[in-house]
Amino acid sequence: MSFELIKDILIATVPLLVIFPSLFAFTTWMERKALARIQNRIGPNKTGIPCTRIGLFGLGQPAADGIKMIFKEDIVPRGADKLFHLLAPILALIPAMLILCFLPLEFPWGKFMSAPVQAFLLDSAVIFFFAISGLATLAIFMAGWASRNKYSLLGGMRAVAQMVSYEIPLVLSAVVVVMMVGSLNAKEIADAQTGFNWFVFTPWGLAAFVIFFIAALAETNRSPFDLPEAESEIIAGYFTEYSGFKFALFFLGEYIAMFAISGLAVTLFLGAGDGPFLTAAPWLSVMWFIGKIFGLIAVMIWLRGTLPRLRVDQLMAFAWKFLLPLSIFNILLAGLTHFALDARVAATSDAILYSIHASHTHSDAANHDHPKPVAGQKEAVMGALHYTDKDWMGAMKWFSKAALKGHAQSRSILGWGFGIWAMSLIVLYVMAKGLDNVSRSTAKPREYLYAE
């Protein structure tokens, strides 16, 4: 192995191994603080700098937790399968760390590297992401089984049922973006969204984002889908029998998985590293990316402080009767909308481009009169060019400039564009509302035999 290769590997992996675990520490603190404030408490506020009275708003809490976890006794139940009991937390962490590699993070290594580094530049990154994150299910069931504890086993079984069910809407909602971009490469998906062409601004993208986010909550066992570790029902679910550092590994794995899946949501729908001031400071890209991840995590924490836990039948009914049909319908709608937009807008913008082209060729002929340029034609052409570049935001800007100057074709494009946009939003809402009405779980609690 050459020195260059080792350097490349280190540069690509060390940021992931350093940044995300430290973000995890910060997130545990943030979550505790936010939940406390939501419940009108103060939260950790005493653990700051050791041996002093400086509280630092309790920012030392993660370090104290970590030290505690390391020094705690590692208890393995007598009946447990010792090998798998040991392997499960490690296997829960590995896929979570691994899928971080697929995120199109561009660390600012300007001095050392000519090109931005991504840990694992893969053409089928999105597929690999889902494939590897699915492995976490196995680790969780392994933990539940190896503990030889009924609560662990119940939690493990719940986790498997839930994660397998919610993986389907998760993948199907991501399909929409893959359709639009025409690539599974995370970098290309990120590049397709530069200039605020985020997919969340399209109706199908918005619906897909909402479905993706809900399914991601269930995938990472977050409230309100935290049935596998429902402490009021089954103690701590699959990690009932885990203590000390193994427990910490599970905890870490769970949060890293949260980061990873939020990162994928950011990549697919929220424009990856796209944001303002990027032309002035390209290194801001990674800041925007992590900032957006934190935004999603904050919403997750907020939801955890708000929503009560679902019942198992509600959970299953929601996945199979609501999210799955809606995500399939969303794919259909995305295709149809794209088709309709192409049929109208693309044809019109082609016509604009053709007209300017024709006028140029004609004006070359000396015997012809120079055709009088239509008002706003220049802007319309710019819009059409942006449209062929798939820069919808830029196209919209130029077309609306042209339309303000009275350019008829641009007006028609804008009308059709907004009409289709609003119609698909309404159709999606009506569809979701209808599905909601029919998909509610009708299961009644079993009649109590000894009611008398």
Query: Which residues make up the interface to another protein (CB under 8 A)?
Result: 34, 37-42, 45, 53, 302-303, 305-307, 429, 432-433, 436
CA 97 to each of CA 154, 256, 284: distance values in angstroms, whole numbers, following the listed order = 26, 7, 23
Closest separation in Å from C-beta 124 to another protein: 33
Token pair of 206, please?
């918005």
Rg of the chain in Å (alpha carbons) = 26
Count Cβ atoms below 10 Å from residue 17 Cβ, excluding itself.
Answer: 12
Q: Considering the complex, what minimum distance in angstroms separates the CB of residue 215 from another protein?
A: 15
How many Å from the N-terminal Cα to the C-terminal Cα in the chain? 78
Whether the Cβ atoms of residue 297 and residue 212 lie closer than 8 Å to each other: no
Shorter beta-carbon distance to another protein: residue 14 or 299: 299
Q: How far is the CB of 298 from another protein (least distance, A)?
A: 11
CB of 430 to another protein, least distance (A): 10
* Minimum distance from residue 33 beta carbon to another protein (Å): 10
CB closer to another protein, 125 vs 301 = 301
Residue with smaller CB distance to another protein, 306 or 388: 306
Nearer to another protein, 58 or 376 (CB): 58
Map tokens 């397998």 to a residue: 164
Least separation in angstroms between residue 390's CB and another protein is 31
Tell me how far, at minimum, the Cβ of 40 lies from another protein, in Å. Answer: 5
Residue 261 vs 432, nearer CB to another protein? 432
Residue 333 has which token pair?
């709608």
Cβ 296 to another protein, closest distance in Å?
A: 15
Q: How far apart are CA 189 and CA 263, in angstroms?
A: 13
Decide whether 409 or 439 has the Cβ nearer to another protein: 439
Residue 49 phi, psi (nearest 5): -80, 130
Please state the closest distance from residue 420 (CB atom) to another protein, in A: 21
Which residue, 57 or 416, has its beta carbon nearer to another protein? 57
Q: What is the number of H-type helices and E-type strands within the chain? A: 17, 0
Cα(93)–Cα(242) distance, rounded to whole angstroms?
A: 15
Q: Which residue's CB is nearer to another protein, number 145 or number 213?
A: 213
- Phi, psi (rounded to 5 degrees) for 328: -65, -45
Residue with Cβ nearer another protein (303 or 393): 303
| Alpha helices, H only, 182-269 | 186-192, 203-219, 231-234, 244-268
**190, 258, 373, 400, 447 from 356: Cα distances, Å:** 32, 51, 9, 18, 76
Query: Looking at this protein, which amino acid is placed at residue 344?
Result: R
Judged by beta carbon, residue 61 or residue 137, the one nearer another protein is 61
d(CA 35, CA 142): 30
CB of 82 to another protein, least distance (A): 30
Minimum CB distance to another protein smaller for 48 or for 156: 48
Three-state secondary-structure class, residue 271: coil
**How far apart (Å, rounded) are the C-alpha atoms in residues 420 and 439?**
27
Residue reference for tokens 């296997």: 91
Q: What are the distances in angstroms from CA 103 to CA 115, 180, 271, 317? A: 16, 19, 12, 32
The dihedral formed by the CA atoms of 418, 427, 205 and 207, expressed in degrees to the nearest 10:
140
The string of DSSP codes covering 85-105 is HHHHHHHHHHHHHHHGGGS--
- Kindly state the tokens that stand for 365: 């002929």
Shortest Cβ distance from residue 335 to another protein (Å)?
23
